[in-house]
Structure 1
Amino acid sequence: MHANLMNNYFNPNSVYTEEDFRRLFRMRRHVFERLLRNVQQVNPYFRQKWDRAGRPDFSPHQKVTVALRMMAYGSLADSIDETHGMSESTCLDTLEQLCDLIVQVYKDDYLREPNQEDLNRLIRKAENRGFSGIIGSLDCMHWD
């Protein structure tokens, strides 16, 4: 499964293009790779391990891919077994681990209330797209 995943998305001359990757993963490949590096540095769960028989466990790429697919597509954990060969309990554990890590690693940069600089950038971007005044009701939150 790991070799197939790498051949399809991550190796040079992979089956899927950058555009395919972005559509399927809902992010650019370099963003995925940064996320992967960051979670591996913080949590050993996302590092490659071997079982007692010396066989490799699920790779970090597999674990992050499964969790992201579950979040992006609302995939059920038991349906992942058919495509990624990962049991329901492992999928759920992986999803929980990744969600906790995303909050831990990125909360200060991305999971915060926007500052004035952020708001100005978002207002300009929205106005350029024809949505003036949109910030006042973003996600039903009303910022001054």
Structure 2
Amino acid sequence: MTYFSKEEKRPKRIGSVPGHLVINRGREEGNSRLYNDYFSDNPTYGANLFRRRFRMQRSLFLRIVDAVREHDNYFVQKVDSVGRIGLSTLQKVTAAFRMLAYGALADSTDEYVRIEVYGDEYLRSPYTDDVARLLQKGEERGFPGMMGSLDCMHWEWKNYPTAWAGQYSGRHGGPTIILEAVASYDLWIWHAFFGLPGSNNDINVLQASNLFDNLTQGITPPAHYTIQGKNYDVGYYLADGIYPKWTTLVQTISKSEDKKKQYFAMM
């Protein structure tokens, strides 16, 4: 079966999304390089290097590629709205496995695999319309200015390298890898930072992540709202008590006698 395809010659078109920089990432060149490096009959990197970098044999990886493509149409190579052939199945699955195997951020695979951070819809910061919708939902639920919930969770690492066991072991007993995520009321993930050792806590992870990078650079979408007659222009996230007392974080209410506030603290 064929995983590698070349784009037919088509007229050049220019993107027309206002404010968006159109970058020609060279999807076809990236796919060709990936195929020649690992999946051709005479690959640049042999079976030993494939197993080291993908953490499995090539035959197993290709079985997974076939199964994933049959299960989810997203992984099928398609033609986009301007007639260009999109990312190949190998590019999409390779990007996903690199994130899982190395704890890499989604856009860190872009330079090699030429994937475009999974398109414009997933795992991204909110746009202006998104912020307005989130603020409206937060106000409807009694939390004006709320953008979503921030928290970390530990993922158990079963087949960890013995040499790394110490730095990845924390209070959970065995080695774990931490995921920091921001999710809104509809369980949409607006931020994900994955891969820090389980010996860290939520504060260490927050200091290392890029959650507030755009805010510090002054390039976040506007978030205007009013609480008790005072105007604000920066949204906030709900978090638990371990997080620092920043204006962008609102913590739980401890020892409250109000049932509604007690329920909020439990969440």
TM bucket (normalised to shorter chain) is 0.5 to 0.7
The whole-number CA distance in structure 2 between the counterparts of 1:44 and 1:31 is 20
Q: TM-score, normalised by structure 1?
A: 0.60
Q: CA deviation at 1:38?
A: 0.5
Q: For residues 93 and 25 of structure 1, do their structure 2 counterparts lie closer, same or farther at Cα, with a shift above 3 Å needed?
A: farther
The whole-number CA distance in structure 2 between the counterparts of 1:92 and 1:31 is 30
Of 70, 95, 111, the match for 2:99: 70
Give the total of aligned pairs: 97
Note if contact 1:77-1:92 (Cα within 8 Å) is conserved in structure 2: no
The whole-number CA distance in structure 1 between the counterparts of 2:35 and 2:70 is 21
Structure 1 residues without counterparts, runs of 5 or longer = 95-138, 140-144
Structure 2 residues without counterparts, runs of 5 or longer = 1-29, 124-173, 175-267
Q: CA deviation at 1:55?
A: 1.3
Q: Which 4+ runs in 1 deviate beyond 4 A?
A: 91-94
The whole-number CA distance in structure 2 between the counterparts of 1:35 and 1:50 is 23
1:40 equivalenced with 2:42 (yes/no): no
The whole-number CA distance in structure 2 between the counterparts of 1:78 and 1:38 is 25
Q: CA deviation at 1:92?
A: 9.2
- Provide the alpha-carbon RMSD of the alignment: 2.5
Higher Rg: 2
1:87 equivalenced with 2:119 (yes/no): no
Of Structure 1 and Structure 2, which has the larger fraction of its residues in helix? Answer: 1
Q: TM-score, normalised by structure 2?
A: 0.34
Cα deviation per residue 1:78-109 (whole Å; 9 max; x = unaligned)?
A: 22222222233449959xxxxxxxxxxxxxxx
Q: 2:86 — aligned with what?
A: 57
Q: Name the % identity.
A: 42
1:13 equivalenced with 2:29 (yes/no): no
Relative contact order: is structure 1 or structure 2 higher (C-alpha 8 Å, sep ≥ 6)?
1
Kindly report which structure 2 residues correspond to 1:100-139, keeping only aligned pairs within 5 A, or say none. Answer: none
